[in-house]
Structure 1
């Protein structure tokens, strides 16, 4: 049920990534967003869809993905209209993905407001999340701007992006954005957290579709002209032929960090990015020895600060291990120092591909 009476709110869920930072459990054939990674009974994509469908009806929710993953979206979200799956013909970053979604939504409703969200996040207080989202929609409905959702840091996390609060507005918890910093060193992350001026960048933002299309015109080639009207069949054929003309550019770097008209709303819903082993470890509740076990059977002895994920039917006996990732899927077992490990995991995945072939990634 939608609780905002405007009837013009749309959602775009970004679900096209390969999930390389959670290799070997996340594979190119089955990235993390399509997996029930935590044994909850719902995949990350399904949980994200569930969260937004309580605010926005399914016919106004769009999922952006790659064409090789479109069948997963159809299978996992049968309530989503098939025409709301934007299946890209080649891999690009998030700016082209959102540009196509904006074109599609603009032709449904030129006055639409949109919220754009990754598909691999945890929200710990959904009631607060819904209230924050509706407050943000109310603001962008009345203003030509970009509005990001920020969450107060709970630890000096170097794997997240940070937003520096600028001048306050007349509205509570709403500030101009002074700066963005992507994945700082841990010492800087600690300084940011202690200053009270910086919030985690959730990667969720809201705006009017017409304003975002205006922003895109400043940085992207005019591939899909909002004034052009295609049939669905012709639009898909055009995208297949022309999508490669878009640069490989993220929405954060291309739009949010380049714009002067960006605001941040201080949110209080509790949040975690579930895109890396380290961030999952930090976000999850810890067992004995501060170990984290993800839907697996493990016996620990004299071991601390580890994160473990195994296939069902496997049992791990771990003795004397401190601060490691132990992850197994199919034909790969990874044992790697946890730390800030996303770069290492990507490196090992690439090396496995070069040495042993695509079947190992």
Structure 2
């Protein structure tokens, strides 16, 4: 089986840890290694570096090579421009098809900026999904996370009836995808146990995804095929540069996944301890969900502080926080952010406003 890990996002909601020159997936926001390095460590013992691919922006290819020397250079796929995930997944699949031993070879789509507490459960789920494909139980298997609370910042997967069990894991018929539903809907989904969190992880086959593109995005697939025909030749870079920017900027969910016939998919879920720390407060919740506790890093002291994250990346400088609740404080060598957890959505807006100004170097 092949693995493709996506690591091309800008991560502005995690500013100032995440920067344009080095987004969050390349930064040690959890421990001493980047989330991309941790993502690779989870799958490397199972599949080996030759079967793992990383999709990123061309500007970050060198960072990926430095952080992941275990991967062959040709397994790092660089997008010349950002065109959203339908284009990125399509390009990645053309590379997988070029490297695959047969068109029905399975592959998994994973993400390079997630946090995972229970790696053993994750690996079991990945292997179970692979077995379901090999036994032709489905063409695509979603890997969901058993929800811990009503989270309206995530997508949710609707579960149908139980379909069977493999390796002690029950799998369900697939029913629906819902992207970031309102909080009251999330609460109902959580209470009724009819849905699981959509991690964005799934296992499918190269041939099946190619068929979906041909059927639902024929013009995009025609252009991707032109690129695919040059992989491994001297014409590849020029062809990619010429064609990729003309692909429509559309999400993979809207372009492909929403068109899947429910009978073609199954859903596995487990308590992997998965979370997507897409914002600074989500990072705090991932590391310690206790609302009375704090998460700190570096030289930090607190007094009468609750439910806060205080990160200090500057050596030789003390950050002291007193008498606040639900605060996010991040100090780096060249920027300091102080924001209440309820105003976190404004961080991305703030940083977007740096573009075209004297503050752009800080973005």
When normalised by structure 2's length, the TM-score is 0.90
Say whether residues 1:196 and 2:190 are aligned partners: no
Task: Tell me which residue corresponds to 1:15.
Answer: 7
Task: Tell me which residue corresponds to 1:4.
Answer: none
**Aligned counterpart in structure 1 of residue 36 of structure 2, from 45, 48, 64:** 45
Task: Tell me which residue corresponds to 2:304.
Answer: 302
Say whether residues 1:159 and 2:143 are aligned partners: no
**Aligned counterpart in structure 2 of residue 30 of structure 1, from 17, 22, 29:** 22
**CA–CA distance in structure 1, aligned partners of residues 327 and 13 of structure 2:** 15
Pairing 1:210-249 to 2, within 5 Å after superposition: 210-220=207-217, 221=220, 222-225=222-225, 228=229, 230-249=231-250
**Aligned counterpart in structure 2 of residue 282 of structure 1, from 269, 282, 285:** 285
Task: Tell me which residue corresponds to 1:81.
Answer: 72
Task: Tell me which residue corresponds to 2:203.
Answer: 206
Task: Tell me which residue corresponds to 2:325.
Answer: 322
SS at match of 1:290: coil
**CA–CA distance in structure 2, aligned partners of residues 340 and 358 of structure 1:** 22
- Give, in angstroms, the shift of residue 27 of structure 1: 0.4
> Residues 102 and 286 of structure 1: is their aligned pair in 2 closer, same or farther, counting only changes over 3 Å?
closer
| Structure 1 unaligned residues grouped into runs of 5+ | 1-8
> Residues 330 and 356 of structure 1: is their aligned pair in 2 closer, same or farther, counting only changes over 3 Å?
farther
SS at match of 1:54: helix
- Give, in angstroms, the shift of residue 224 of structure 1: 2.2
SS at match of 2:267: strand
**CA–CA distance in structure 2, aligned partners of residues 107 and 170 of structure 1:** 34
What RMSD over aligned residues (CA atoms) do the two structures have, in Å? 2.0
Conserved 8 A contact 1:132-1:267: yes
SS at match of 2:321: strand
Conserved 8 A contact 2:140-2:204: yes
**CA–CA distance in structure 2, aligned partners of residues 106 and 145 of structure 1:** 16
**Aligned counterpart in structure 2 of residue 138 of structure 1, from 118, 131, 136:** 131
- Give, in angstroms, the shift of residue 355 of structure 1: 5.0
Task: Tell me which residue corresponds to 2:351.
Answer: 349
* Worse-superposed segment, 11-20 or 101-110: 101-110
Query: How many residues end up aligned between the 2 structures?
Result: 350
* Worse-superposed segment, 53-62 or 102-111: 102-111
* Worse-superposed segment, 142-151 or 98-107: 142-151
| Structure 2 unaligned residues grouped into runs of 5+ | none
- Give, in angstroms, the shift of residue 287 of structure 1: 8.2
